[in-house]
Chains A and B, each alone.
Chain A
């Protein structure tokens, strides 16, 4: 398929969860004396197959622990699937959460370079885009200040500004829009709409169903690592909300 941006074929991901995590030597030593090691296998994704075409905006929805973030991490090539095949066709830019990849002791400018390079730009490219990044982040007068002095909103704007200027073909967003004030959210939405017009692919994880309705053309509902529904955003969101309501009733 030529117009496919992301193809997942029978992708499964298992995590080994140990109830006594061996993150310390004490843990290991103690485990020797216990007869049974309690290692559970958690199936985060179970036989997921899907194709996302170039230019689509896809919302991943589902309750906590349904596998949304794992799916995003597999697309970002950060973790490897236990089984199945993944093709990603195009440059991926994950939008990072607040402050990830920033060093508080370095200035905004120095952090732009580091962030840009880690997202795959060259120094040359960053130098060219620097004015646009700084303007987009609205940090012209603070760019030589160490990031530790920034407010969380400023850090957020800077991170977003770098990521959107990496000229990505595929953009991954994991709840990044949930933080930030009204003005910032509007700015992000405008940028997303711009990306959509330019035919870029966007995959976003969100718990804000209005946002998914507003932004995404297609939604994929994951539950316990399986695809429950995949289709037009409106329908899938309605379906999911109905399900969520029922769950809530049962628990009352």
Chain B
């Protein structure tokens, strides 16, 4: 793997050119260009905020900020995986003719989305400081750590998905369905505190459900984004019978460490898997 990484470093200019090409192509023929990638999360969050505050009766000050803090990383996860699933197959003619480290194709898709995520975060901070007027927490310093490990997780999954999609084109459909379901298994529209108090099992099982839920690295990373970016809040939900209150839970550092380790493992395994199959791509009829 060290040799592969060295070769990848030798081809860094190609990787960077691909990232720029990806960004340039995406908005080439649209007037609003990059703003489209902001409009989608902003509109989504606006709709979610209205539905969850007015219809579902969530009583949370600045609910939209909390949704956005988790939705932006989720968008990064989702679009990067969807983009990269087609990345190798879309360039198969080139792959059949020219030597280059094949991993640049999915990695370029991931990095292009990372840049989008970075720009979206800038807009998020403008919104947070300018509109909401929330103070910047010292824990924001941890944000780069979260971004790095999330990127490792995404890159690892992208390598696996883009590789499988060359051989089985069902992969991209499975990924798209999987992402739709996964959206409900990560804390974007609800809070991890509500998972802790989920009425799935008897109270002694609460901790276990919370634990298992957060063993999913992407779920834990979303919870971490929220806790790092925004002050803790008490979630209130106006239930049918009574008002429910969920006290804020502190960040579970142990679980976060597990999520980061898992992300690293996914990257290493994903890269190893990709390397094992990458010279078979050109043989696909």
Q: Which residues of A contact B (CB under 8 A)?
A: 15, 21-25, 28, 73, 76-80, 92, 94, 96-97, 100-101, 103, 105-106, 110, 113-114, 117-119, 122-123, 174
Task: List 9 tightest A-B contacts by C-beta distance, closest first.
Answer: A25-B170, A77-B99, A100-B93, A78-B282, A105-B28, A80-B279, A79-B282, A117-B17, A101-B94
Chain B 12-35, CB-CB to A under 8 Å as 1, else 0, gives 011001100100110011000000
Majority SS of interface residues in chain A? Answer: loop
In the bound assembly, the distance between CA atoms of A133 and B181 in angstroms comes to 50
Q: Are A79 and B13 in contact (CB-based, < 8 A)? A: no
In the bound assembly, the distance between CA atoms of A105 and B22 in angstroms comes to 11
Which residue of the partner chain A has the closest CB to B174?
A25
Q: Are A118 and B170 in contact (CB-based, < 8 A)? A: no
Task: Say yes or no for B95: interface residue by CB 8 A criterion.
Answer: yes
Offer 17 A-B interface pairs, CB within 8 angstroms, sorted by A: A21-B285, A23-B167, A23-B169, A24-B169, A73-B282, A78-B97, A80-B279, A96-B94, A96-B97, A97-B97, A101-B93, A101-B98, A105-B28, A106-B21, A118-B94, A119-B98, A122-B13
Q: Are B99 and A76 in contact (CB-based, < 8 A)? A: yes
Give the residues in chain A near B14, CB-CB below 8 Å: 117-118
Task: Say yes or no for B207: interface residue by CB 8 A criterion.
Answer: no
Chain B 87-100, CB-CB to A under 8 Å as 1, else 0, gives 00000011111111
Which residue of the partner chain A has the closest CB to B100?
A118
Give the residues in chain B near A25, CB-CB below 8 Å: 168, 170
- Contact pick for B283, options A22, A79, A122, A174, CB 8 Å: A79
Majority SS of interface residues in chain B? Answer: helix
Q: Which residues of B contact A (CB under 8 A)?
A: 13-14, 17-18, 21, 24-25, 28-29, 93-100, 167-170, 279, 282-283, 285
Give the residues in chain A near B168, CB-CB below 8 Å: 22-25, 28
Q: With A24-B169, A78-B96, A94-B98 given, is the CB distance from A106 to B25 under 8 Å?
A: yes
Expressed in whole angstroms, the minimum distance between the Cβ of B182 and any Cβ of chain A is 20
Q: With A73-B96, A96-B98, A105-B29 given, is the CB distance from A15 to B283 under 8 Å?
A: yes
Q: Are A106 and B98 in contact (CB-based, < 8 A)? A: no
Q: Are A114 and B93 in contact (CB-based, < 8 A)? A: no
Q: Are A113 and B93 in contact (CB-based, < 8 A)? A: no
Which residue of the partner chain B has the closest CB to A96?
B97
